[in-house]
Amino acid sequence: MSPTPPLVRFNAVRKSFDGRTDVVRDLTLDVAQGELLTLLGPSGSGKTTTLMMLAGFERPDGGDIELAGRSVIGLPAHKRGIGVVFQNFALFPHMTVAENIAFPLQVRRVPHAEQIRKVRAALDLVRLPGLADRLPGQLSGGQQQRVALARALVFDPRLVLLDEPLGALDRALREELQAELRHLHRQLGVTMLYVTHDQAEALALADRIAIFASGRIQQLGTPQALYDTPENLFVARFLGENNLLPGQVLALEDDIARVRLACGAEVEAQCVDARAGEPCMLAIRPERIAVAPISATDMGEGAISAVLQEIVFQGDQLRLRLQLGAGTADAVDITIKRPAGAPLGGLHPGRSAAVAWQPHHALAFHRAPHRAPHCASQRAG
């Protein structure tokens, strides 16, 4: 039995706005039917341009974009059958909620009785029954975004594109609407491409994440795979929180690097692309580091002496800031996370402590120049 063909396929797509610099470079990417794929990256990385080319609002300078096996290059946006949700809602202020939602149906010449039924169903879907006659200006930001989502879904599209749809909302409302989007995605089975620069949002929503930088996909995979096994230093820096410790690779044995940190300590780490005898950067998640108020000797091989600088209470967790090589020119701060209420065993600011980690929890990367690495684009399986 052959695999289901992708709903969306980008094939060597390229886009430049000035004729010199490519905003999107040789993008090759498949999106599976029913998938929620998040395009994540910093401003200017090419993620929104990618979405706009798929929507039909921008035309690529090279390559091809297919929807359900057919090229859409040259096909007007309104004929692609794609729902789009923008950050600024893009509602018509002079139209009622019902009229805004019905607009895509009117464009498609859906009979009036069917429009009424579909608008009512869409309002129920986004939990806004009873607000059909209100104007957008009479709604809260969250309600307006729900109307925009209902308008994108009302004509039963096979694909919905969302460009920073929750970026203008406060944190609590964003988290509430994230949960609703996950529910709608599971309920409807519609394919979604979701653009964001918010890492937490991408991790919470996506089936897969494509991390963009400098117009290329740096890594593509599930949220857990990208979090646990970043393939290059850019992804390690960008996704989630990492302690980044400069050092020098002393030796490589199989996939384990022996590293001398800038503070003088020698440790082991999982080698990603580090090279023997060359500078490297270790990346260690704050929740992966053990700490105790005892000497490094007592803590065993690989433990490092540190001084606890502060303990910050953040509701559901504690953040411990420690300094390795305290009092030296090469001192470096690290952060450790612990659940709120976890016993600290006598740890106090200003006192010595020891920190350690399992070698496979620290990743050793070649210390490249401060730019996104050149990575081949990846085809989804």
Q: Provide CB contacts within 8 A for 24, sequence distance 6+.
A: 13, 14, 15, 46, 49, 50, 53, 60, 215
- Which of the 8 DSSP states describes residue 6? P
Q: What CA–CA distance (Å, rounded) separates 52 from 45?
A: 13
In the chain, CATH 3.40.50.300 sits at: 8-233
**Token pair for 6:** 């992708």
What is the Cα–Cα distance from 55 to 333, expressed in whole angstroms?
Answer: 45
CATH class, range 8-233 = alpha beta
Question: Which residue in this structure is represented by tokens 């105790």?
Answer: 292
pLDDT per residue of the chain (381 residues) written in tens, 0 to 9: 557 889 999 999 999 999 889 999 999 999 999 999 999 999 899 999 999 999 999 999 999 999 999 999 999 998 999 999 988 878 899 999 999 999 999 989 999 999 999 999 999 998 898 899 999 999 988 899 899 999 999 999 999 999 988 877 788 888 888 888 898 899 899 999 999 999 989 999 999 999 999 999 999 999 999 999 999 999 999 998 999 999 999 999 989 999 999 888 899 999 999 999 999 999 999 999 999 886 544 556 678 889 999 999 988 899 999 999 887 878 899 999 999 888 888 888 988 898 999 999 999 999 864 444 433 333 333
CATH level 3 topology of 241-366: OB fold (Dihydrolipoamide Acetyltransferase, E2P) (2.40.50)
CA torsion, ordered 47, 49, 54, 60, to nearest 10 deg: -130
Residues of the chain with CATH 2.40.50.100: 241-366
Structure tokens at 206: 């996506």
